Amino acid sequence: MNDGVDGILVKPRDETALASAITTLANDENRREQMINKGREKANAHNWESIAQRTLDYYAELSGAK
């Protein structure tokens, strides 16, 4: 997760920072939509087909076939 790009990082047990982050996103539709889209892009990069292909590419690289 990239702070400010596809989410907002807050320190553990910092309720004030968490409330501020939630309020910020609740009040800023453009920023919220940008973060949703970036998060979705990142999640889509981790589908099983993509993971399997990266694994096969890695094995091919290790074997010298690539």
pLDDT at 44: 87
Report the distance separating Cα 27 and Cα 21, nearest Å: 10
Residue 4 inside a domain? The answer is: no
Residue 58 inside a domain? The answer is: yes
Write out pLDDT tens, residues 18-34: 999 999 999 999 999 99
Let me know if residue 47 belongs to a domain: yes
For residue 50, the enclosing domain spans: 15-63
Question: Is the pLDDT confidence value at 65 over 80?
Answer: no
DSSP H helical ranges for the chain: 15-27, 29-44, 48-63
**Is residue 48 a part of any domain in this protein?**
yes
51: tokens are: 């993971």
Query: What is the tally of structural domains in the chain?
Result: 1
Please check whether residue 6 lies inside any domain of the structure: no
3 within some domain: no
Contact yes or no for 13/7 (Cβ under 8 A): no
Instruction: State pTM to two decimals.
Output: 0.64
